[in-house]
Amino acid sequence: MLGKLKLLGVLLAIPLIGYYVLGCVISKEEQEWRQAVQQNFKDISPDRLNAITLKNVCENAELASKVDDACSTYSHVQDVRRLSLWACVVSVLFPLLVMLAGWVCKANRNLLLSIFAPGLYVTNLVVSAVVVMQGIVLMGTVYYGESAFTNRVHYGYIILFGFAALAGAFYIIKGTFGLVKRRPRLL
């Protein structure tokens, strides 16, 4: 049981850290937006100021086009944050689905024989997709987090993380098609 909890921690580490850091980036962007609005409109009432959030402005297509730089970054951070949430969901639900399939197949060996090979392919493709998703989340978290909090970006690390995720997915998929081979029937 401890091993399964460690595995779950490893699966969820990048998406959860990404979700948190990107939430902090969004909060910082909102704070900077509020300060800019206060500086440009000094006589604005507090109620009106609370209504002019970056989120509200970026959701309005007409206003978003006027402040495209801020809204573009805001929407990209939101997209990566949403992807990190999906990576968490897939990282938890897919192993549960595999465990359920194992439980069902425990009683029926013919079912196990019929779904083992396709299930192995699907499992490895999903794991490859999760590796790529986590790579994107890690790259986005480093890019937006580092640029928001340190005002610089180490592109070398971002490129390294991207290539590592793609290489991991490639080798998982490459290994998948060499694992299961049909045996010739002897009858």
Contact (CB, 8 A) for 124 and 173: yes
Establish if 164 belongs to a structural domain: yes
Average pLDDT, the chain: 87
Establish if 184 belongs to a structural domain: no
Q: Tell me which of 38-52, 136-150, 154-168 is least confident.
A: 38-52
Q: Average pLDDT in the 102-128 region?
A: 84
Q: What is the pLDDT of residue 68?
A: 77
Contact (CB, 8 A) for 154 and 146: yes
Establish if 182 belongs to a structural domain: no
Tell me the residue type at 181.
K
Higher pLDDT, 80 or 106: 80
Give the residue among 53, 55, 24 at the shortest CA–CA distance from 38.
53
Establish if 7 belongs to a structural domain: no
Establish if 3 belongs to a structural domain: no
Q: Average pLDDT in the 77-99 region?
A: 93
Contact (CB, 8 A) for 86 and 140: no
Establish if 60 belongs to a structural domain: yes
Q: What is the pLDDT of residue 179?
A: 61
Q: Average pLDDT in the 72-92 region?
A: 93
Give the residue among 114, 74, 86, 64 at the shortest CA–CA distance from 19.
86
Whether residue 52 has pLDDT greater than 60? yes
Establish if 46 belongs to a structural domain: yes
Q: What is the pLDDT of residue 185?
A: 67
Higher pLDDT, 142 or 63: 142
Question: CA 95 → CA 4, 12, 91, 184, distances in Å?
Answer: 10, 12, 7, 32
Overall domain count for the chain: 1
CA distance 81 to 145: 12
Print the domain residue range for 63.
13-177
| Per-residue pLDDT tens digits for 6-48 | 888 888 999 999 999 999 999 999 999 888 888 888 787 777 7
Establish if 44 belongs to a structural domain: yes
Q: Average pLDDT in the 94-105 region?
A: 87
